[in-house]
Amino acid sequence: DSSNLYTTYEKYFYVGVALSKTDTADDIVMQSVLENFNSMTHEFAMKWSQVETSPGVYDFSYMDDFAGIANKNNFRLIGHTLVWHKANPSWLFTDRVMNDDMARDFYLEVMRKHIATMVARYRGKVHGWDVVNEAFYYDGNFRPSPWLNLIGKDYIEKAFEFAHQADPDVELYYNDYGLVDKSKQDAVVEMIQRLQEKGVPIHGVGIQGHYSLTYPDLERLDNAIARFSELGLKVMITELDVSVLPFPGPEERGEDAEINPARVQELNPYSEGLPDEAMQQLTDRYVDLFCIFLKHRDAVSRVTFWGVTDARSWRNDWPVKGRTDHPLLYDRNMQPKPVVPALVDLA
Ligand code: XIL
């Protein structure tokens, strides 16, 4: 039958999914991916540390195959991500003796070269790139990043310019979490307006959807989509996953946080599976979120889930490691959850 996600939603927006290397090697997963989605992203393999394995040496073999799968099956392929504070090669920022001006020029050129290499390689294959990922903190300040430290605040606009030089036809996005929250949203809106005033090419914003049963407040999500679309940008909901677990306090989140056993249990209540009641809450929550996305169907061009099966969701390890979360559309046995038909019925 025709009741799958992407055919239901294709008149409104793309429905995307992020895959891992384990996913692409699994026929059952790939079957479901072909059935329900029409956009794909790799959750890890395109990051800098994964492609430029030693200085000047790029290994494109896996990503070339991945792009081939996407293109052959008419998926919209999204590149993730060119410039980030994380997943940089370990050799990239080794101490070099140079003054600030030299460092700026040196790392601008390093960044330009990487962007040019990636964007040129996948020209005509990637529809859009997450050019800069997560440049701000919740409080609206620039997030400390080697790029900020070595180049300065204009590393963002430089990255977009370099990407545009390498492929003037590809879409360029700024991608971040917490864009529904006031301080950060203000900072990102200002940054984008500054880029636009200077004529820097930027085509869209990715609102990361690492959500929960209660976060974010739907009205704030509604307003955030409206605000970014008023800037004349395509709005994408990226990295969507809905955690069903309690969100730990800040002191419970570090590597060496000391959490007593009772609290560990409390933070990980569904290690034996998701009870019906919680499954229903998850379904209702996804339906509520998609109601907002549908309300903004003219602004939203894509909604991408951050993974296929709960078995491999990064949410099992974030914001605390080693939990059993249930944030995605498929359970640990690759059975579709009731969320899937609920979303199909909605549109
Ligand atoms: C995560 C992936 O899901 C993991 O597999 C990987 O180990 C680390 O990165 N924000 C982002 C994504 O922009 O790139 C991150 O993805 C999740 C948070």
d(CA 128, CA 272): 39
Residue 10: inside a domain: yes
Residue 194: inside a domain: yes
Query: What pTM does this model have?
Result: 0.97
Cα 86 to averaged position of ligand 1 atoms, centre (Å): 9
In the structure, how many helices (H) and strands (E) does the chain have? Answer: 13, 10
CATH code where residue 198 lies: 3.20.20.80
Residue 130: inside a domain: yes
Cα 231 to averaged position of ligand 1 atoms, centre (Å): 27
Active-site residue (options: 52, 134, 171, 239): 239
> Which residue bears the tokens 């999204």?
78
CB of 111 closer than 8 Å to CB of 155: yes
> Which tokens go with 140?
């609206």
Lining ligand 1 with CB less than 6 A are 20, 43-44, 133, 239, 314
Instruction: Please work out, in degrees rounded to the nearest 5, the angle formed at the alpha carbon of residue 180 by the alpha carbons of 174 and 183.
Output: 90
Count of structural domains within the chain: 1
Residue 252: inside a domain: no
Residue 251: inside a domain: no
Per-residue pLDDT of the chain (347 residues; tens, 9 = 90+): 457 999 999 999 999 999 999 999 999 999 999 999 999 999 999 999 999 999 999 999 999 999 999 999 999 999 999 999 999 999 999 877 788 889 999 999 999 999 999 999 999 999 999 999 999 999 999 999 999 999 999 999 999 999 999 999 999 999 999 999 999 999 999 999 999 999 999 999 999 999 999 999 999 999 999 999 999 999 999 999 999 999 998 889 887 888 888 998 999 999 999 999 999 999 999 999 999 999 999 999 999 999 999 999 999 999 999 999 999 999 999 999 999 999 999 99
Residue 261: inside a domain: yes
Residue 224: inside a domain: yes
Q: Whose CA is nearest to atom 16 of ligand 1?
A: 43
Q: Whose CA is nearest to atom 2 of ligand 1?
A: 43
Range of the domain at 298: 5-246+257-346
Distance of CA 52 to the CA centre of its chain: 21
d(CA 152, CA 145): 10
3-state secondary structure of 145: coil
ipTM: 0.98
Catalytic, 239? Answer yes
Residue 304: inside a domain: yes
